[in-house]
Amino acid sequence: MKNEYEEEFKEKIVACNVTCNMQVKECEVRCSTEKWIEDPYIGKALEGRYEKFIEKFKVKSEGEAIEKTKDVSEKFRVPTTLDIDNNRLLIEGRKVVAGVGNEEFVEKYIENLQKINIKVTQLRRALREKKGEYTIYVDAKEVEKWEREFGDDPERYIPYHPAVKGLMLLFYKYVKPEEVQTTCLPREPEVKGVAFEEYGDKPCLNLAWRNLELASLALGLSSYREVAEQLLHTALHEYIHHIEAVNLREYRGSWTGEGGLETLISVLTGKPAPAGSEAIAQELAELALDKVVKKYFPKIIDKVKERLRREVEEILKDEDTKSTVNYVKKFMKWLEKKFPDEVFFDVAPHREDVAVKTTFMPKSEKSKFEEWLRKNFPKEYEELKRLEREKPTPHEYFELEQELYIKAFEKLFNEFREKFGVNENVEVSEVVEGGWVKVRYPALTIEKTNLTSTCDEYEADVTPPPEL
């Protein structure tokens, strides 16, 4: 005879929905259900999901429908949505926490009503049918409760915010918040986050990417607001993969576009073009961040900024790291002064270290950088211009241009070192980016400091499955 634990281990109800037809005074209960198995490599693993019919029941009024929906939520201990007369409510236990639909209906059941008006315009392809103006209703006391309990770690608990739950009601039959945890993909700092299907589509942020963003902040290459918004957007993006799965929507996405020219450009350049499930996650995350968080709850972003500042301050407590960062900042400022509006910097991974990628963008042949090239590399410069006049293949031209820019960068950095001294932690290198077409950029590699583009698995909440 199987014990209760074994049965629970194999099947788990994670969210429920009650749909009521008030013309016939009948409601139907269905639940999103997970099936789990014992995996020899990772232990408990998700085998699949399905929708489970629970029961039908009769009601005499909408009030009774709500009370019975509360009973369902309490019985299964899961968030439960109620669809009734073109309205949808989210009930957790015996509390109505959010709703969408008719205000006269919703205000009867949500205490301390707070309205959030959103205009859905940017759902370009993934969710075109939802364009329009909507109002989300939440309980202001529940918002205050979230701020007390989760406000110090918004990137982890943003899916639990009542307004985010309310937004999800517009798009999903089953609404289930989920903690956004951390994982470590040490060799993939370009991957911002992931939802691990094996672990129940668990949303995670990649610590390697997050560490690279901290390095960018320390070097002054990003603003705290930019990074805070990126973190929240990524957390929401990965959470939406989770809620899509809870709603039994099969993942069909890519980062290489929807075909045709879009896919060709993405493959050639290596630049991401979200399609399918990735476009849905990207666009809904943008909607949640721009129309809900930034507009109605901007203090959430301030909290993330404060946390990032503390982390950067901790990184720079190491004197060697601080002096190296100041040295690189001084070089960047020196180069920008030498070639105003013609040189740009960005952080990039370089093995386990951090590189400052440098892009030269001369405005014209009479620009300061072009004049400097002509003077310091006359032979190479004339060869490049000759090639330009002869209209060669793009690959041939850009390869020669990249080689010249790398030589120029090395000479400039040597000039800087002669003037301001040497820092043993900083070396000239190059960063290679792109897809099929690779582009080489001159760079400075920063080694032996607290700046890193990797991570340690012991710092993460979730260990990736073996194949990753």
* CA 144 from centroid of its chain's CA atoms: 25
Continuous segment of H or E residues that includes residue 377: none
CA 205 to CA 198: how far, in whole Å? 16
Q: Dump pLDDT digits (tens) for 9-59.
A: 589 999 999 999 999 999 999 999 999 998 888 888 999 999 999 999 999
Across residues 254-274, what is the average pLDDT? 68
Residue linked to tokens 């030269």: 360
Token pair belonging to 104 = 């006269």
Strand order in the sheet with 202-206: 181-183, 202-206, 193-196
Q: Residue 227 pLDDT > 70, yes or no?
A: yes
In total, the chain counts a number of residues equal to 468
Continuous segment of H or E residues that includes residue 319: helix 319-338
| 435/264: higher pLDDT | 435
CA 379 to CA 376: how far, in whole Å? 9
Structural domain spans, the chain: 4-310, 319-446
Q: Within 13 Å, how many C-alpha atoms sit on residue 450's CB side?
A: 18
CA 162 to CA 285: how far, in whole Å? 15
CB-CB neighbours of 414 under 10 Å: 12
pLDDT score recorded for residue 370: 93
Across residues 309-338, what is the average pLDDT? 97
Q: Residue 124 pLDDT > 80, yes or no?
A: no
Nearest alpha carbon to residue 438 among 399, 390, 385, 387: 399
CA 36 to CA 258: how far, in whole Å? 33
Q: Dump pLDDT digits (tens) for 64-87.
A: 999 999 999 999 999 999 999 999
Q: Residue 283 pLDDT > 60, yes or no?
A: yes
CB-CB neighbours of 398 under 10 Å: 15
Q: Residue 162 pLDDT > 70, yes or no?
A: yes
Q: Residue 3 pLDDT > 50, yes or no?
A: no
In sequence order, the β-bridge partners of residue 13 are 33
Token pair belonging to 176 = 């289930």
Question: Minimum mean pLDDT among 11-20, 64-73, 245-254, 451-460: which range?
Answer: 245-254
Q: Dump pLDDT digits (tens) for 377-429.
A: 999 999 988 888 887 666 778 889 999 999 999 999 999 999 999 999 999 99
Question: Minimum mean pLDDT among 251-265, 354-368, 376-390: which range?
Answer: 251-265
Question: Minimum mean pLDDT among 167-171, 259-263, 290-294, 316-320: which range?
Answer: 259-263
Contact by Cβ (8 Å): 387, 250: no
The pTM of this model reads 0.93
Interior angle at CA 353, CA 352 and CA 355, nearest 5: 135
In sequence order, the β-bridge partners of residue 195 are 203
Contact by Cβ (8 Å): 98, 117: no
CB-CB neighbours of 277 under 10 Å: 20
Mean pLDDT (the chain, rounded): 91
**Looking at residue 289, what DSSP letter applies?**
I
In sequence order, the β-bridge partners of residue 136 are 100, 116
Class of residue 162 by CB neighbours under 10 A (exposed 0-12, middle 13-18, buried 19+): buried
- The amino acid present at 190, given as its one-letter code, is E
In sequence order, the β-bridge partners of residue 462 are 183
Contact by Cβ (8 Å): 120, 97: no
Across residues 151-170, what is the average pLDDT? 96
CB-CB neighbours of 200 under 10 Å: 20
